[in-house]
């Protein structure tokens, strides 16, 4: 069973793994995205944690967003807790996609306002400004998220972010613009929509 680490509580030796994709792999129909499935894993000393190349690992090597394989697989007929956690390789693009940074539709732009605790009120103000000024030009959506230093990819390091809030504009594959200036981001979207 393959999933993605949602949360880690090393103090209580608990791991939460999002197994939605695995659990719904045979499901068809319009309601497939209406629910998520998570599994709680108790990190007891008997749980063997290792990397996919066989190297030994520990709970401290696990990161939020990390792709993992749990064995034995959790099924409807078997609720046996996992005895083995294999830390799988995850591509940077896959980790960024799981954060919801990429635009869904061809030619659209997704706006992410990335902040920290101190910038939370400003994040909402920026979001409101985007909705008021860019309105119909926001075909790819706009979202706000808090910086997560524990995530498998560090957005501050990848994009050299110095201050929050920072505005990130993505198409379906890559970062198009990174700025702290709302006006610049809105002008960029407006110009793209006119071309």
- What residue ranges define each of the domains in the chain, with the CATH number in brackets? 2-90 (2.40.50), 95-194 (3.40.30.10)
Q: What is the pLDDT of residues 64-90, one digit of tens each?
A: 999 999 998 766 555 678 899 999 999
Q: What is the pTM of this model?
A: 0.81
Number of H-type helices and E-type strands within the chain: 5, 10
pLDDT mean over 111-118: 90
Give yes or no for residue 121 having a pLDDT over 70: yes
- Which residue from 8, 35, 21 is spatially nearest to 69, judged by alpha carbons? 21
Give yes or no for residue 135 having a pLDDT over 90: no
Report DSSP state, residue 78.
Answer: -
pLDDT of res. 139:
72
Q: Three-state SS across 125-189?
A: HHHHHHHHHCHHHCCCCEEEEECCCCECCCHHHHHCCCCCCEEEEECCCCEEEEECCHHHHHHHH
Q: Report the side by side order of strands in the sheet with 2-9.
A: 38-42, 14-18, 2-9, 67-71, 84-87, 48-51
What band does 95 get if pLDDT is binned at 50, 70 and 90? Answer: very high
pLDDT of res. 30:
64
Q: What is the pLDDT of residues 14-23, one digit of tens each?
A: 999 998 888 7
pLDDT mean over 145-166: 93
Among 26-30, 36-40, 73-77, 184-188, the least confident range: 73-77
């Amino acid at each position: 069973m393959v999933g993605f680490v949602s949360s880690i509580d090393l103090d209580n030796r608990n791991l939460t793994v999002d197994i939605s994709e695995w659990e719904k792999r045979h499901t068809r129909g319009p309601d497939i995205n209406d629910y998520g499935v998570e599994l709680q894993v108790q990190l007891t000393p008997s749980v063997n944690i290792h990397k996919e190349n066989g190297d030994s690992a520990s709970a401290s090597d696990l990161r939020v967003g990390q792709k993992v394989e749990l064995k034995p697989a959790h099924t409807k007929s078997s609720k046996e807790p996992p005895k083995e956690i294999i830390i799988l390789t995850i591509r940077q693009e896959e980790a960024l996609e799981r954060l919801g940074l990429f635009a869904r539709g061809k030619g659209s732009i997704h706006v992410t306002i990335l902040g920290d605790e101190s910038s939370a009120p400003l994040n909402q103000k920026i979001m409101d400004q985007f909705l008021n000024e860019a309105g119909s030009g926001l075909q790819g959506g706009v979202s706000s998220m808090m910086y997560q230093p524990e995530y498998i990819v560090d957005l501050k390091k990848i994009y050299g972010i110095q201050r929050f809030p920072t505005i990130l504009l993505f198409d379906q594959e890559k970062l198009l613009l990174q700025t702290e200036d709302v006006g610049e981001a809105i002008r960029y979207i407006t110009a793209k929509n006119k071309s």
